[in-house]
Structure 1
Amino acid sequence: MSNFGFGFHGNNDDDDDDRADRNNGGDNNDPFGFGANPFGFLFGGQQPGQGGQNGAQGPGIGDILGQFGAMLSGFGRDMNSPDAQGPVNYALAGRIARQQITGAAARTPSSHDSQAVAESVRLVELWLDEATVLPAGATGSVAFSAEKWLEETMPRWRRIIDPLASKLGDATLEGLPEEARAQLGPMSGMLSQINGMNFGMQLGHALGELAKEVAMSTQWGIPLADSTVAAVATSRLDDLSKKLGVERRETLIYLAAREAAHLRLFQHVPWLVERLILDVEEFATGLALDNSALEEATREFNPEMMGDPQKMQEMMESLQNQDLAPKIVSSTDHARIRLETSLSLVEGWVDYVVGEALGTRFPATASIQAAWSVFRDSDQPGMAVLARTVGINLAAPKANQAAELWSRLTFAVGKERRDAVWNHPDFLPIDADLDAPAEFIDSILGEQESGDFDPIGEIEKLERELNKGDGDEGPGTGDEDTDEGTA
């Protein structure tokens, strides 16, 4: 990973085979090059573009062995990679994700693209100065490609995904019958590797979808790239211009404004990023797999049915349209709610601040904001794939309510006091405040009316008093014992 963020270092580290696959229009769902079903040839299925030997419809034994050998070679390379260790095979995840990046998303931005981003960022920084007291946080700017986004964000994805995948891997083993677990013995390590491959394949598809959807590095309310560079995917401008209903130049300025606003928040609220990631880790501690759908569907199964083809067919037909996959559940759902609230507060703050910065300059600001809200809430399938894979969703479900809260708070106490709410996590609104913000706003008004209220000082004072009380308890008890003994 670059020390300077997006776009400031050499070529990507994927191999020539991956590039060739994408350039030849490889199947996005086929990481190993065998069509939708990599094992189809074992059951007599014909692979696309193959006529087999002697003009036969199915592949010959040479084709089968060649394909199987190539598949094992791909698996072997990913299994032996340093990125294959741990709960997720990131070597496989990265390769699958890169293979999905085709078309406009695969285009490398030009120097003209980066220049356009730089000019837009410089412009919106001036406008944002009027909308927030938080100073500029971006130290540079660049246009980036989907593949560059994958490279720069993978370290933080590891931090987010590892605890989730690790817990789900444990849940998979715990779901096995006790007798089966006892018999696994030394094979448990192999099963962990298989789980890692499984998570790697699923995560690769999710990240590939997200890479094609990403428009800026802070799009999901968390800086996935550990960088202070404002980065915009110029390949997304044409598509997003249609969704937002404005020209390409206006779309670029809007994205640059959102990116720059995010970086102001993340750079000048030092506890925020770690708080978001800790919420993910706490959520992971309670993850489990719910197999009740499969158990319910197979409850009526009777071994005697195996001898009755008609009953077996009826049972298979009844199961065909049911979703029997295990559901990811968590006993620490409060962490998920806190994460969603924090993400909503971030996105809502950015919505409001950007709206204030652009409102008098762009007549279409209100319609752009509304269209972006629809895009964020319902037009990002990659985030839904990620949620199905590891149970976490970085969406901000109450961003609109949060934007309304920040708007009302600004009207009530001004932008200086509004932005001071970010000084400490305990000052932030909670989930209930987003639905009914009046009480929260009244509390801020009450603090402001007191004039000399210093929230940080009050917290430090309380901590000193508590520490002093703890320190006095021991000696006080000892003196009392001494007095009683003397008496």
Structure 2
Amino acid sequence: MSTHGFGFSFGNNDDDDDREHRENQNQNPFGAFGFSTGGAGGLGDILNQFGQMLSGMGSSMNSREPNPPVNYDMAERIAKQQTGKAASINSQEKAAVEDSVRLAELWLDEFTELPTSGGSIEAWNAADYLERTLPMWKRMVTPVAKNMNEAQLASLPEEAREMMGPMLSMMNHMSGMNFGMQLGHALGEISTQALTGSDFGLPVAPEGVIALLPAHIQKIANDLEINSRDVMVYISAREAARQRLFRHVPWLVERLVSSVEEYAAGLVIDTSHIEEAARGLNLESGDPAQIQEAMQQLQNMDLSPKITSRNAAAVSRLETLLALVEGWVEFVVTQAMGNRIPATAALNEAWRRRRATGGSAEQAFAKVVGIEFNAPKVAEAMELWSRVEVAVGTQRRDAVWEHPDFMPSAEDLENSAEFIDGLLGENDGVEFDPIGEIERLEREKNEGDEQGKEEEEK
């Protein structure tokens, strides 16, 4: 059995190609971020854009309209170069996807109270994935790029900002190109290896669409040496389960996306460690030997700006939500598939390996959105949902999704006992009513506020 599993990289046995790839990575300024140069076409596109930027610079600097924070035209062109000419979806692939999703939906019905999403079932190739998911990627990338530009400007001394005033338009152009190039390479890579429209809990597919990429799934089945029909049904079940959450938990998608926007709004670039290092070098002495020693010290220092956010809690919320989504999906799918598809355990393990070695939400966010966060604790979340079901049953388990205030916290993933005790103690066995519980909490809060006002007036 192949060790690649669901990994984003399927390997290359050609030593010369591997060596050439490593050399390209060393020469590529974006190699550390996992981006390739895209070959001659990518370089030509960059030079083209640079020429257009210079030719239009005069009019742009006089324009009152702000420059876009990301050059999405460049991003789309570079991504399309990487996806190449993907084979069109044929009628057989389309039928296989539709049949697999319908079968998976029937099996899922037995193990969750959440009904089917009722969305359309679509079979995509890499080009379709890029085109259909780009609008949501734009929504998540734009605030990050915009606030990154503002944070970079804010980190400069006031005198420098005043001197650079006339050049700000050019800098914005360059920044937009840089973001566009990185985004294009990242989306190109993801588009050629994605399996569904919302891998790893990222709601990037259009609303109400259950999408699978049959050509990519066939590669996975070949690598795992598992019957392709079983693999298709298993991945269909995962995607269908996610879409049930996205459709019937109305706050979920917005909470995931708003966490990215909130993180972006608080971006800060910290250069204090660079300034401190410069002060300690004593370059004003004029002594050539001392200056040479100082330059050697500089070479050994990490002088990259530190990018942080004042809204770090947004990242923690994102990590927890992604873990809860994927943990719930894996638990329900394992229940539905376990007795019907013998390879379910092996497929679960391959999916976990994919998260750990190359295909994960945190890596996608790091590459595309620019947010670094810890790997979601999917195993802990799956165990939590399992214990919740044992304690209060399937109906109460799924009712937890009714409101974000009822959701487990990051601490609950580490220790679920207190969370489960809370569910057991609610209403002393009376049927759980999430809306009624919210209204009760709001009444108590209002009564407390009124009582406080009365005491103040006395």
TM-score normalised to the size of structure 1?
Answer: 0.75
Distance 1:476 1:325, change over 3 A: closer
Distance between the aligned counterparts of 1:399 and 1:455, measured in 2? 25
Q: 2:74 is matched with which residue?
A: 92
Q: 2:417 is matched with which residue?
A: 438
Query: Does 1:203 find its partner at 2:183?
Result: yes
CA contact under 8 A between 1:117 and 1:141: conserved in structure 2? Answer: yes
CA contact under 8 A between 1:289 and 1:326: conserved in structure 2? Answer: yes
Query: Which residue of the other structure, out of 189, 197, 202, is the alignment partner of 1:222?
Result: 202
What displacement does 1:165 show? 1.1
Residue identity opposite 1:333 in structure 2: A
What displacement does 1:162 show? 1.5
Query: Does 1:238 find its partner at 2:238?
Result: no
Distance between the aligned counterparts of 1:448 and 1:475, measured in 2? 30
What displacement does 1:171 show? 1.3
Q: 1:173 is matched with which residue?
A: 153
Query: Does 1:182 find its partner at 2:162?
Result: yes
Distance between the aligned counterparts of 1:114 and 1:318, measured in 2? 58
3-state secondary structure, aligned to 2:116: coil
3-state secondary structure, aligned to 1:371: helix
What displacement does 1:311 show? 4.2
Residue identity opposite 1:153 in structure 2: T
**Which is worse superposed, 333-342 or 157-166?**
157-166
Distance 1:29 1:76, change over 3 A: farther
What displacement does 1:118 show? 0.4
Q: 1:484 is matched with which residue?
A: none
Q: 1:376 is matched with which residue?
A: 355
Distance between the aligned counterparts of 2:287 and 2:40, measured in 1? 36
1:253-332 correspondence to structure 2 within 5 Å? 253-291=233-271, 300=281, 302=283, 311=292, 315=295, 319=299, 324-332=303-311
Distance 1:233 1:372, change over 3 A: same
Query: Which residue of the other structure, out of 24, 37, 54, is the alignment partner of 1:29?
Result: 37
Q: 1:111 is matched with which residue?
A: 91
3-state secondary structure, aligned to 1:33: helix
Q: 1:404 is matched with which residue?
A: 383
Cα RMSD between the aligned structures? 3.6
3-state secondary structure, aligned to 1:192: helix
Unpaired segments ≥5 residues, structure 2: 1-34, 61-65
What displacement does 1:221 show? 0.6
Distance between the aligned counterparts of 1:267 and 1:242, measured in 2? 32
What displacement does 1:458 show? 2.7
Distance 1:477 1:418, change over 3 A: closer
Map Cα deviations across residues 56-84 of structure 1 (whole Å, 9 max, x no partner). xxxxxxxxxxxx6786259879999xxx9
What displacement does 1:464 show? 3.5
**Which is worse superposed, 237-246 or 397-406?**
237-246
Residue identity opposite 2:144 in structure 1: L
What displacement does 1:248 show? 1.8
Q: 1:447 is matched with which residue?
A: 426
Q: 2:18 is matched with which residue?
A: none
TM-score normalised to the size of structure 2?
Answer: 0.80
Map Cα deviations across residues 141-194 of structure 1 (whole Å, 9 max, x no partner). 121012211111122112211211111111111222322211122332332222
Residue identity opposite 2:213 in structure 1: A
Structure showing greater Rg: 1
Query: Which residue of the other structure, out of 144, 149, 168, is the alignment partner of 1:164?
Result: 144
CA contact under 8 A between 1:220 and 1:395: conserved in structure 2? Answer: no
CA contact under 8 A between 1:121 and 1:260: conserved in structure 2? Answer: yes
Map Cα deviations across residues 252-289 of structure 1 (whole Å, 9 max, x no partner). 11111111111111111111111111111111122122
CA contact under 8 A between 1:87 and 1:192: conserved in structure 2? Answer: yes
Distance 1:96 1:455, change over 3 A: same
Q: 1:349 is matched with which residue?
A: 328
Q: 2:436 is matched with which residue?
A: 457
Residue identity opposite 1:410 in structure 2: E
CA contact under 8 A between 1:121 and 1:257: conserved in structure 2? Answer: yes
Give the number of aligned pairs.
418
Distance between the aligned counterparts of 2:219 and 2:287, measured in 1? 53
Unpaired segments ≥5 residues, structure 1: 1-26, 39-67, 481-487
**Which is worse superposed, 366-375 or 182-191?**
182-191
Map Cα deviations across residues 394-423 of structure 1 (whole Å, 9 max, x no partner). 885211110111111112211111001001
What displacement does 1:134 show? 0.7
Distance between the aligned counterparts of 2:80 and 2:373, measured in 1? 21
CA contact under 8 A between 1:117 and 1:143: conserved in structure 2? Answer: yes
CA contact under 8 A between 1:101 and 1:212: conserved in structure 2? Answer: yes
Distance between the aligned counterparts of 1:429 and 1:297, measured in 2? 43
CA contact under 8 A between 2:133 and 2:205: conserved in structure 1? Answer: yes
Map Cα deviations across residues 86-123 of structure 1 (whole Å, 9 max, x no partner). 211111111111111148xx332212111100010111
Distance 1:362 1:448, change over 3 A: farther
Residue identity opposite 1:428 in structure 2: M
Distance between the aligned counterparts of 1:462 and 1:34, measured in 2? 57
